[in-house]
């Protein structure tokens, strides 16, 4: 991997950007130190700089100084202080047939007054929606206590108005926005690519800020690998960016065929069928295989797509067993046999459970399936590329090849893209091609995506250093968090690391503090985890470096000390969280920020 992809990317915080309401609304005229004239239109602007589109014959040089820039709008003029050229280049011919160039100026000092004077002619940058606009947030009244009800309280609201539940739930969202929690928890807007270091738009400070990211599912960083990116580019150049046809029509091209062959070989199976997403793979496989008199039984902690897929089947024998309780699973299987009404049986589970990162006990599950003449389906999304000596998942880890009858995986984790698949016996795969409606009645995965994923699987096999670096990171990170006095699992089963917080109120406060300190991670509360078991969820990847991990441990330690949860038991941490208040915006509640 190149130095560019191995090292930490350095992102600098920069203020909120604006654009003119109309393309030619704001013009800039100036003359530089070398007497080079500038006459162009503003593309975007902030308090620290401005981007201007000009004729390329009048491009200044990088480093050229200007005593002032004169902004003209609606016949009025407004001057800035001194500015310096930091970028000056012609646009590509394809983009600029008339010979235009772009010049980026950096102001010598923050031009707050200039932005205020131009503000009525400017609009927010495109990524600043109504969720992020400061005017909207200031108008929001505190309406309800968002810490009280859970998301399930708004699943059903008895009312003749179909949208009553939508209105009630939005009141909770408004309250979270007013109290400065929502953007620390949900829909944080990235202004960079997704990596171990990112930049996000902070709606509270109105700036783009650097953060350490533990939200990426690209465990090996392969979505940035040069070989993968080049494979995607080559495919786009040859066949375009999409494949707008179903697989059974013209959606099967050589890139999809090559991907199917690669997947089957990687997992030691006869064939593979590809779906537009991992969610579609689970729902499609379950609804294709399970009929009215078939038993489908799944682990209660399985991914939502498994629960939805099971509910979407026509089975009258749908069951869920308590998490990892194989004795309860066996009782369900016994009851099904004793009833005399059950035909086929399918056990479904995550291989690595996505919230806590624990592995399913595959050998015991496989033994139960064989004993009761059931088939076993395992979602290997978080295991593929990560678990096992060569990244081939739970079968390799537990040394039970072929234990899984229906092996499902995704491209949105270690392969670093999107899509899902099922591998297995050839007769199973051909059946799914025709009966899994989520693959049959939808457009094929884009050829370029197929090409990139195929290359990602090759890299997994040919460059084990990515997986090795990932596990070095996990083995360094977890003990450091534990030594700090935080409650983390001591058995490192996957790249998913959790910090126990218990109370959802503590989770929201800690999440906002983490956001303020530049740490982006998952905030998981009920119903994704049981009531009283809220967690901060961190997905470690191979591109995290020692500085990322040390900084994160330092921030968690300071936050833990602030709330008094270091060295406490789980019940004590929960009680501490429950005593906290969310009545006031967090900025007014905390005396200091970590």
132 falls in which pLDDT band (50, 70, 90)?
A: confident
Active site residue 10: no
Res 584: pLDDT: 47
Per annotation, catalytic residue among 178, 303, 382, 466 = 382
**For range 28-56, the mean pLDDT:** 90
- Residue 96: DSSP 8-state: -
Res 23: pLDDT: 83
Residues 462-520 pLDDT 10s: 999 999 999 999 999 999 999 999 999 988 999 999 999 999 999 989 999 999 999 99
Greater model confidence, 529 or 446:
446
CA dist 587 and 571 (Å) reads 27
Residues 6+ apart with CB under 8 A from 447: 235, 239, 240, 243, 253, 255, 256
Candidates 3.90.1150.10, 2.170.130.10, 3.40.50.720, 3.30.365.10; CATH matching 466-589: 3.90.1150.10
Q: How far is CA 490 from CA 295, 333, 352, 479, 482, in A?
A: 36, 33, 16, 7, 8
Which residues lie across from 392 on neighbouring strands? Answer: 384
Residues 252-274 pLDDT 10s: 999 999 999 999 999 999 999 99
545 falls in which pLDDT band (50, 70, 90)?
A: very high
Phi-psi region of 575 (alpha: psi -120 to 50; beta: other; left: phi over 0): alpha
Please report, rounded to a whole number, the percentage of residues in the chain having pLDDT higher than 70: 91
Active site residue 218: no
CA dist 305 and 504 (Å) reads 24
CA 558 to chain centroid, in Å, comes to 26
State whether the Cα torsion 558-561-566-569 is positive or negative: negative
Res 458: pLDDT: 98
Q: How far is CA 188 from CA 118, 143, 314, 523, in A?
A: 28, 23, 38, 12
CA dist 327 and 334 (Å) reads 11
Please report, rounded to a whole number, the percentage of residues in the chain having pLDDT higher than 90: 76
Count other Cβ atoms within 10 Å, centred on residue 519. Answer: 23
Burial of 216 (0-12, 13-18, 19+ CB in 10 A): buried
Res 490: pLDDT: 86
34's enclosing H/E stretch is: none
Q: How far is CA 277 from CA 223, 281, 394, 412, in A?
A: 16, 6, 21, 8
CA dist 472 and 219 (Å) reads 13
- Residue 180: DSSP 8-state: T
Which residues lie across from 28 on neighbouring strands? Answer: 40, 71
Closest CA to 564 of 501, 520, 480: 501
| Domain spans of the chain, in order of start | 17-124, 226-462, 466-589
pLDDT at 4 over 50: no
Residues 360-412 pLDDT 10s: 999 999 999 999 999 999 999 999 999 999 999 999 999 999 999 999 999 99
Q: What is the mean pLDDT of the chain?
A: 90
- Residue 93: DSSP 8-state: T
Which tokens hold the place of 133? 């606009």
Per annotation, catalytic residue among 178, 225, 307, 413 = 413
pLDDT at 134 over 70: no
Burial of 135 (0-12, 13-18, 19+ CB in 10 A): exposed
5 falls in which pLDDT band (50, 70, 90)?
A: very low
Q: How far is CA 371 from CA 69, 90, 293, 331, in A?
A: 80, 71, 20, 12
Per annotation, catalytic residue among 302, 354, 417, 444 = 354
Residues 308-334 pLDDT 10s: 999 999 999 999 999 999 999 999 999
pLDDT at 2 over 60: no
Q: Choose the weakest-confidence range: 85-94, 146-155, 282-291, 528-537.
A: 146-155
Q: Choose the weakest-confidence range: 84-88, 91-95, 246-250, 367-371.
A: 91-95
Tell me which CATH code domain 226-462 carries. Answer: 3.40.640.10
Q: Choose the weakest-confidence range: 333-347, 444-458, 521-535.
A: 521-535
Res 35: pLDDT: 82
**Dihedral angle, C-alpha 551, 465, 420, 218, nearest 10 °:** 20
pLDDT at 590 over 60: no
Tell me which CATH code domain 17-124 carries. Answer: 2.40.10.220
Active site residue 413: yes
Own/partner pairs, 193-196, CB within 8 angstroms, 24+ separation: 193/224, 194/218, 194/223, 195/9, 195/221, 195/224, 195/543, 196/8, 196/221, 196/541, 196/543, 196/544, 196/545, 196/548
98 falls in which pLDDT band (50, 70, 90)?
A: low
pLDDT at 62 over 90: yes
């Amino acid at each position: 991997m190149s130095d560019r992809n191995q090292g930490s990317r350095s992102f600098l915080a920069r203020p909120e950007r604006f654009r003119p309401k109309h393309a030619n609304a704001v013009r800039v005229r100036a003359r530089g130190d070398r007497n080079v004239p500038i006459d162009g239109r503003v593309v975007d602007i902030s308090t620290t700089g401005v981007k201007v589109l000009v004729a390329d014959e009048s491009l200044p040089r990088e480093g050229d100084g200007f005593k002032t820039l004169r902004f003209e709008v609606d016949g009025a003029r407004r001057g800035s202080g001194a500015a310096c050229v930091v970028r000056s280049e012609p646009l590509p011919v394809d983009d600029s047939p008339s010979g235009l160039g772009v010049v980026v100026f950096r102001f010598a000092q923050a031009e707050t007054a200039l932005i205020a004077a131009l503000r009525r002619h400017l609009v927010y940058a495109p990524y600043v929606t109504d969720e992020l606009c400061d005017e909207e947030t200031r108008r929001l009244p505190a309406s309800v206590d968002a810490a009280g009800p859970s998301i399930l309280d708004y699943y059903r609201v008895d009312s003749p108005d179909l949208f009553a539940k939508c209105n009630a739930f939005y009141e909770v969202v408004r309250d979270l926005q007013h109290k400065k929690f929502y953007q620390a928890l949900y829909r944080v807007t990235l202004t960079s690519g997704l990596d171990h270091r990112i930049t996000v738009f902070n709606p509270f400070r109105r700036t783009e800020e650097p953060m350490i990211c533990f939200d990426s599912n690209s465990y090996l960083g392969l979505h940035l690998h040069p070989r993968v990116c080049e494979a995607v580019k080559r495919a786009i150049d040859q066949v375009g960016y999409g494949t707008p046809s179903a697989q059974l029509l013209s959606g099967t091209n050589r890139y999809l065929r090559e991907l199917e062959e690669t997947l089957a070989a990687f997992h030691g199976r006869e064939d593979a069928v590809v779906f537009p997403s991992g969610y579609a793979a689970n729902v499609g496989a379950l609804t294709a295989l399970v009929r009215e008199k078939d038993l489908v039984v799944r682990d209660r902690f399985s991914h939502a797509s498994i629960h939805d897929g099971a509910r979407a089947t026509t089975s009258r024998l749908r069951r869920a067993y308590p998490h990892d309780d194989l004795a309860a699973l066996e009782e369900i299987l016994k009851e099904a046999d004793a009833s005399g009404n059950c035909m086929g049986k399918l056990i479904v589970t995550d291989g690595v459970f996505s919230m806590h990162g624990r592995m399913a006990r595959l050998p015991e599950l496989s033994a139960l399936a064989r004993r009761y003449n059931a088939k076993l389906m395992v979602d290997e999304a978080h295991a593929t590329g990560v678990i096992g000596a060569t990244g081939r998942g739970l079968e390799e880890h537990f040394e039970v090849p072929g234990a899984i009858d229906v092996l499902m995986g995704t491209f949105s984790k270690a392969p670093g893209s999107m899509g899902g698949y099922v591998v297995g016996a050839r007769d199973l795969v051909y059946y799914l091609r025709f009966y899994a409606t989520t693959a049959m009645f939808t457009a094929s995965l884009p050829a370029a995506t197929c090409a990139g994923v195929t290359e990602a699987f090759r890299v997994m096999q040919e460059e084990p250093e990515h997986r090795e670096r990932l596990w070095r990171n996990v083995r360094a990170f977890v003990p450091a968090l534990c030594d700090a006095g935080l409650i983390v699992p001591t058995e490192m089963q996957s790249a998913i690391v959790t910090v126990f917080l218990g109370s959802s109120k503590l989770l929201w406060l800690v999440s906002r503090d983490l956001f303020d300190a530049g740490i982006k991670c998952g905030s998981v509360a009920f119903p994704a985890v049981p009531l009283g078991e809220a967690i901060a969820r961190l997905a470690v990847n191979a591109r995290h470096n020692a500085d990322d991990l040390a900084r994160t441990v330092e921030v968690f330690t300071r936050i833990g000390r602030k709330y008094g949860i270091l060295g406490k038991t789980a019940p004590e941490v929960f009680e501490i969280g429950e005593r906290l208040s969310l009545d006031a915006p967090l900025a007014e509640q905390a005396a200091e920020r970590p």
